[in-house]
Amino acid sequence: MSSSLIERLGEVRDFRTTDGRRHPLWVVLLIVIMGTMSGYLGYRALGDFAQRHREDLIEALKIPKGRVPSYSTIRRVMMGIDFDNFAKVFQSWASEYIQISPGEWLSIDGKSIRGTVSNSNTKYQNFICVVSVFTHDQGLVLTQNQFENKHGSEISTVQALIKTLHLEQAVLSLDSLHCQKKTCDLIINSGNHYAIAGKNNQPKLYQQIQVNTQSAVPLTTHTSIEKKHGRLTKRRISVFDDLTGITNQWIGLKTLIKVERTGQRGRQPYVMVAYYISSLVADAEIFAQGIRGHWGIENRLHWSKDVVFKEDRSSIKAAHAPANMSIIRSIVINLLRSNGFSSVTIAQRLISNNIPTLLALLQ
């Protein structure tokens, strides 16, 4: 039987001394989640949310001594929680909360938190980047990790994340930065498939893909035509199994995918070609859906965090707080989407400040 979010929050390690604990840690985190669901986005705003609903929260959460957490308590908690521990608890909850079927596609991608940039005009520039694993169809976050630009890399962070995934026969889609032999190896050894963009960061592979997809007969093709915002776009997806000239160090590689996009912007015609490598043998239409679905992580996760939750403009910048708040936002997105809200903004209009409804969504 899966654990509720409230039960899982009780597993987050409390860094405070016994003398400094006026409120259980799970209560503070729960109020932060409920406040974020209602559109309260900063420390003082979250403190205002707690005070505004003081009586309802005390009664519903059985808060002792009749006091809700102040904004300074919320600030100290979000800065002090160990991110790795919080992320592990989040992944445990999400893995039970989200049902992933064999063959389901998930995007892996990183997003910098611009508000954390320091020394922006020097070679010592540093910032926090969060890497997320995101389901294409459901629009939910399965897990996430973070690194600092000066002390880590997206490639190594993604590779570490892959090792923690407990999936079976899922398809992981990644951009060309992650077209790495080690990454392919890790995905195959995890029992899953990959579909990864190929570009000039792997010049020998890229050149051979171009040669093979130009001369070979495709296994399968799929063509679609779309008219949107006055633009007509034709997409043709071709799948090949000719791996001639490609080293077997690309573990699991079975197919090469060529994506041709032709269209017109205004009066100007254009042609764009992209290439992918995959361990999956499937119909071209499956790849067409998966490749387009990959960018849902930009449109449905990164955009929501930036525009709805104002992540890049947040004043929450110190210590562990930016990365911890990113987990809070992922929790909120998961809760709202899985309860039928396709739009986070519309959900906030409907449920904001309604304590019984917020608590019901948390169960």
Shared-domain flag, residues 206 and 270: yes
Question: Do both 44 and 190 map to the same domain?
Answer: no
Output the average pLDDT for the chain: 91
**Structure confidence at residue 118 as a pLDDT band (50, 70, 90):** low
pLDDT at 270: 85
Domain that holds residue 122: 88-302
173, 59: one domain: no
Sign of CA dihedral 159, 162, 163, 168: negative
Tens digits of per-residue pLDDT, 168-219? 999 999 999 999 999 999 999 999 999 999 999 999 999 999 999 998 999 9
Q: Per-residue pLDDT averaged across 149-159, rounded?
A: 89
- Of 88 and 310, more confident: 88
Instruction: Assess contact for 147 and 323: CB atoms under 8 A.
Output: no
The answer to the question of residue 130 being in a domain is yes
Do 136 and 157 lie in one domain? The reply is yes
Q: Are residues 78 and 171 in the same domain?
A: no
Question: What is the rounded average pLDDT of the residues 41-51?
Answer: 93
In this predicted structure, the answer to whether residue 72 has a pLDDT above a threshold of 90 is yes
Residue 318 per-residue DSSP state: S
How many residues are there in the chain? 363
Assess whether 121 and 70 both reside in one domain. Answer: no
Question: Are 37 and 158 found together in one domain?
Answer: no
pLDDT computed for residue 263 by the predictor? 87
8 A C-beta contact, residue 158 and residue 183: yes
- Judge if 75 and 111 occupy the same domain: no
* Average pLDDT of the segment spanning 108-123: 76
Residue 119 has pLDDT above 70, yes or no: no
103 pLDDT band (50/70/90 cuts)?
A: very high
Q: Is residue 308 part of a domain?
A: no
For the chain, give the percent of residues with pLDDT over 90. 77
Structure tokens that stand for 349 in this block:
């209009």
Q: Are 215 and 300 in contact (CB under 8 A)?
A: no
Label residue 317 by pLDDT band (50, 70, 90).
confident
Q: Please state the domain count of the chain.
A: 2
Q: Which of 275, 302, 329 is the last residue of a domain?
A: 302
Do residues 69 and 144 both lie within one domain? Answer: no
Over the stretch 226-279, which tens digit does the pLDDT of each residue have? Answer: 877 767 889 999 999 999 999 999 999 999 999 999 987 777 888 999 999 999
Per-residue pLDDT band for 114 (boundaries 50, 70, 90) equals: confident
Interval 81-96 mean pLDDT: 96
Residue 148 has pLDDT above 70, yes or no: yes
Instruction: Establish if 314 belongs to a structural domain.
Output: no
**pLDDT given for residue 320 in this prediction:** 87
Assign residue 259 the CATH number of its domain: 3.90.350.10
135 domain-assigned: yes
DSSP calls for 211-256? HHHHHSPPSEEEEEEEEETTEEEEEEEEEE---TT--TTSTT--EE
What local confidence, expressed as pLDDT, does residue 257 receive?
A: 98
- Residue 312 within any structural domain of the chain: no
Tell me the three state secondary structure of residue 260: strand
- Residue 196: which of 169, 171, 165, 175 has the closest Cα? 175
Within a domain: 233: yes
Residue 114 and residue 19 share a domain? no
* Same domain (yes/no): 332, 282: no
Give the DSSP per-residue string, 124-165. T-EEEEEEEEEETTT--EEEEEEEETTT--HHHHHHHHHHH-
Q: How far apart are CA 225 and CA 146, in angstroms?
A: 38
Least confident stretch, 1-5, 34-38, 338-342 = 1-5
pLDDT at 1 over 60: no
Distance between CA atoms of 318 and 313, rounded to whole angstroms?
13
The amino acid that residue 163 corresponds to is K
Do 95 and 23 have their domain in common?
no
